[in-house]
Structure 1
Amino acid sequence: MATGNQHYYVPEPSRWPIIGAVGVFTTLFGVVLAVNDVGAGSTISFVGLAILIYLFIGWFGDVIRESVSGSYNDQVSVSFRQAMGWFIASEVFFFAAFFGSLFYIRTIAIPSLAGEGHLASSHLLWEGFKDVWPLLQLPDESSYVPAREAMGPLGIPLINTIILLTSGATITWAHWGLKANQRGHLVTGLAVTVLLGIIFLGFQAYEYIHAYEALGLTLNAGVYGSTFYMLTGFHGLHVTMGTIMLIVILIRCIKGHFTPKEHFGFEGVAWYWHFVDFVWLGLYVFVYWL
């Protein structure tokens, strides 16, 4: 193993990849069992999540210790940037698949089921089916309860939009502080960003409760309900991961792990957070407004 600054750092063989594979398999296996009403499913999925938490703490801890010890050089830094770029690119395609599904449903599937276009198949669902969105009516309302009302763009969605846009500004402000070697400026900006992320998640949880109880908007409330929760839910998961990453970086900043020239750990998380902000703008426009 080379640790000199003139050599590309190659770590020792690690146990973390196999632990990660076990954690992911256990979590997904438990989710599959839970979805199929198998009693042990929830317990197994929580065990899988515990394994993943152990993985992240241990593996990230190793990477932080390697970074602080000076094991990484410019070549490693380039590798990290390339890896983070490809990771965000994969996330772009992940959300593109969901936005593509929403586009297909709204511009192709529903119009064709209403008798429009070259794929027209009028009355396939029920007599008098119309091309409307959000689609709240269901073919068999004895089995599936339709939503009473769609989620509007004002109120909590608008507040959350302002919160995320503000958090993008505060993390940029923190980055300026880091490059200017102003530690207080850096820590304050990051702390505010973390707080805004937590507030966003709190508002989203309240929005889900309101949607479920007051609007009757559930995953079983037709294609509108399923697309709403899939898109906003996965985004909420990414905000959760991003907030955890910001907390870790905040702790590292307080400990003085970064310098104005060497701070990719901060930059990588900032890239991810800006990506989360950008996705939310798309969600706000296409899910809430249009």
Structure 2
Amino acid sequence: MTNITRSNFQFHPFHLVSPSPWPINTSLSLLALTTLGVLTMHSFTYANNFLLIAFICLISSMSLWFRDVISEGTYLGNHTLAVQRGLNMGIGLFIVSEALFFLGIFWAYFHSTLSPTIEMGAHWPPMGIDAINPFELPLLNTIILLSSGVTITYAHHSLIQGYRRGALYGTMYTVLLALIFTVLQGVEYTVSSFTISDSIFGSCFYFGTGFHGLHVMIGTAFIAVGLWRILAYHLTDNHHLGFESSILYWHFVDIVWLFLYISVYYWGS
């Protein structure tokens, strides 16, 4: 009887996750998404239909996985200080990996700009390409994105101080500004005079700004979940790890955009 009773107690502060189908489902969905993406680019029959199915499976698996994580931290109380430290380290390493990803993009960009090849006329931008004016839509997008960094910081400090209205409005304004940024980025793509196939200039431009736009959309969803959790009274002044992680991710997105604006839009044009 004593042994059975002791086995029901946990003598460490770490959460032992119960068996879950969502990690393996997410991995398989990602594998299918990347494979079908390549097949779609090579015009395989029905590949685009299966690509949509794979994307729906990925979103569903990740949503159910995050639902379980939210339940563990909010309702079950499994996110102790030790667990929160581990999650903080995880999001930090994730942001570092994203930074290295963008470092590769900037490396390719500067490799091409600092020493343009003879095939491009030894000139940057290449002859025949009209770069986007950095003082039009790009400057407006810069102001919008930096403003969203201010509003989310205001929301964070309001939450810490127990000011619920400020946390709600700050987060809502951040989501709104992020959506406006995404729409304006799409407008910029439609009116630009070059495409991704126009030499290394088009490839680097759309690869860098496009992946940044993808990160903006992911960060918008991340913060929108935080907004929903604030509305549902999930977050408190000292227990809002997911919301804090979304804020760190959003500041990373802001910093990357500053580098993109200065190097690609201003200096590169």
* TM value normalised by structure 1: 0.86
Partner SS for 1:132: coil
Aligned twin of 2:4: none
Counterpart contact for 1:26–1:47, Cα < 8 Å:
no
Larger displacement relative to structure 2 (7-16 or 230-239): 7-16
Counterpart contact for 2:121–2:127, Cα < 8 Å:
no
Counterpart contact for 1:2–1:9, Cα < 8 Å:
no
Aligned twin of 1:246: 223
> Would you say 1:61 and 2:42 are equivalent positions?
no
- Bigger helix share: 2
Report percent identity of matched pairs: 36
> Would you say 1:83 and 2:76 are equivalent positions?
no
Displacement of 1:182 after TM fit? 0.7
- For 1:172-229, what per-residue CA distance to the aligned partner results, in whole angstroms no more than 9, with x for missing partners? 0001100100111100000000000000001001111111xxx1x1111111111110
Match of 2:211 among 230, 234, 237: 234
* TM value normalised by structure 2: 0.93
- How far apart, CA to CA, are the structure 1 residues paired with 2:248 and 2:127? 37
Match of 1:191 among 136, 160, 172: 172
- For 1:118-166, what per-residue CA distance to the aligned partner results, in whole angstroms no more than 9, with x for missing partners? xxxxxxx3xxx632111144xxxxxxxxx4x211202111100000000
Aligned twin of 1:94: 101
Match of 1:179 among 160, 163, 185: 160
Displacement of 1:246 after TM fit? 0.8
User: Which aligned pairs between 1:142-221 and structure 2 lie closer than 5 A?
Assistant: 147=129, 149-211=130-192, 215=193, 217-221=194-198
Displacement of 1:29 after TM fit? 1.3
Match of 2:201 among 204, 207, 224: 224
Higher relative contact order (CA closer than 8 Å, sequence separation 6+): 2
Aligned twin of 1:36: 42
Aligned twin of 1:119: none
* Structure 2 unaligned blocks of 5 or more: 1-6
Cα root mean square deviation, aligned: 1.6
Counterpart contact for 2:39–2:47, Cα < 8 Å:
yes
Corresponding residue pairs, total: 260
